[in-house]
Amino acid sequence: MSDAAPSRAALLVEALPYIRRFRDAVVVVKYGGNALAGSDATPLASFAQDVVLLHAVGIKPVVVHGGGPQIGDLLRRLGKEPEFRDGLRVTDADTLDVARMVLVGKVNRDIVSAINVHGPLAVGLSGEDARLITAGAHSAGLGFVGTVLGVDPTILQRLLAEGLVPVVATIGADAAGQAYNINADTVAGALASSLDAEKLVFLTDVEGLRGDPRDPGSLLHQVTADQLAQMIESGAAAGGMVPKAEACVGAVRAGVRRAHILDGRVPHALLLEVFTDVGIGTMVLP
């Protein structure tokens, strides 16, 4: 027997109570567009394996994805330089068309295909489908950047009941059918709340939430929703971490049992957080 065998067995034993505890639970996972940037398919393949394993042990994963880098790349190739205000992309009609093409037609397809390598499991959709996400304009100056006004999770519940894995692109529409591009962190939090999810997980490009954004050694392993809200107000959570932190606070206060912010660059980060005692990122508690 190799020296590694006992440690591998110990990991399986450690995972068992979590598998039992979370069976039939909904876990909403936001997979960032940064993880899909570049030509290396390994991170996506690893993520797909994690999702399939969650599904195989009876957990109900729902994947929400962004695609900001891919939208920016296509805009530049078309000769249109992206414009941002307060961290949000100014979205005119042409930019909206590009965002829909990239999110629904490219990124969504890539994730669905990666999961379906392991079996006929994943179904791609956007917030426009079956009126999943009702959206409105975030502000007049940003054009077709949206905010979530309401969620009807019926289509997701039907897919989950059929043993399928929904993969959601974050385009929503208003009552007149006008489409909007919505921040994926915000959508993930709204869907987790509407599905009464056990967990909301953000896979990002930092190791978790830091007490001091400039100090990698200040990783916080656990915070409460109230503590996190105070960090947002004080500026301790800044930049791209703000919408994630706000989504965590809102979801936990709405009844989601736990929210997590993880480094998606770590192989199988999702499994390590869900199925081990220590975890690897930041967990947000009520």
User: pLDDT tens-digit profile of 31-56?
Assistant: 986 666 555 668 899 999 999 999 99
What percent of the chain clears pLDDT 70, i.e. is strictly above it?
94
**C-alpha closest to that of 202 among 122, 111, 280:** 280
Q: Distance between CA atoms of 29 and 179, rounded to whole angstroms?
A: 23
Structure tokens given for 240: 């791209």
Tell me if 282 sits within 8 A of 219, measured CB to CB. yes
pLDDT in tens, 184-193: 999 999 999 9
State the greatest distance between any 2 C-alpha atoms of the chain, in Å, as a whole number: 66
**Given a cut of 70, is residue 9 above it in pLDDT?**
yes
- Alpha carbon 57 to its chain centroid, in Å, reads 20
pLDDT at 1: 44
| pTM strictly above 0.75 | yes
The domain locations on the chain are: 14-285
pLDDT at 33: 66
Q: Which of 32-41, 49-58, 74-83, 247-256 has the lowest mean pLDDT?
A: 32-41
- Arithmetic mean of pLDDT, 255-273: 92
Tell me if 122 sits within 8 A of 111, measured CB to CB. yes
Q: Distance between CA atoms of 53 and 61, rounded to whole angstroms?
A: 10
Across-strand partners of 143?
91
With 0-12 CB in 10 A as exposed, 13-18 as middle and 19+ as buried, what is 233? exposed
Q: CATH number of the domain at 14-285, out of 3.40.190.10, 3.40.50.300, 3.90.930.60, 3.40.1160.10?
A: 3.40.1160.10
pLDDT at 32: 81
Task: Give 11 or 89, the one with higher predicted confidence.
Answer: 89
Q: Distance between CA atoms of 172 and 179, rounded to whole angstroms?
A: 6
**Given a cut of 70, is residue 57 above it in pLDDT?**
yes
**Given a cut of 90, is residue 154 above it in pLDDT?**
yes
- Arithmetic mean of pLDDT, 256-264: 94
Which secondary-structure segment (H or E) carries 251? helix 241-253
Q: Distance between CA atoms of 147 and 259, rounded to whole angstroms?
A: 21
Q: Distance between CA atoms of 181 and 6, rounded to whole angstroms?
A: 49
pLDDT in tens, 119-131: 999 999 999 999 9
